[in-house]
Amino acid sequence: MPTTTHSHIPCNRDEIGVVACPDCSEPMKLTCTSPGLEGYDLMTFDCGKCERSKTFVVHQLTKAGS
């Protein structure tokens, strides 16, 4: 059964970059983003090796037309 870790550390998406699995150190893949608290998004990363899942809380980026 996949374990989910919630890391409530607000940070920018750009600062997240490549996430290493806390269990096996494999690079984790971003599998989904969803709206979190006001002004924040939840980004969920999954490890393809051990199915560990990790969720980050990130500052929502303002979409300023690019």
Q: Under a CB-based contact definition with an 8 Å cutoff, are residues 58 and 51 in contact?
A: no
Alpha-carbon torsion (29, 34, 42, 59), positive or negative: positive
- Binding footprint of Zn ion, residue count (CB under 5 A): 8
Does 50 help bind Zn ion (rule: CB under 5 A)? yes
User: Is position 49 an interface residue for Zn ion (rule: CB under 5 A)?
Assistant: yes
Nearest approach, Cβ of 29 to Zn ion (angstroms)?
11
Q: How far is the CB of 38 from Zn ion (least distance, A)?
A: 32
Q: Distance of CA 15 to CAs 3, 18, 51, 56, Å?
A: 23, 9, 23, 11
* Residues engaged in binding Zn ion (CB under 5 A): 21, 23-24, 26, 47, 49-50, 52
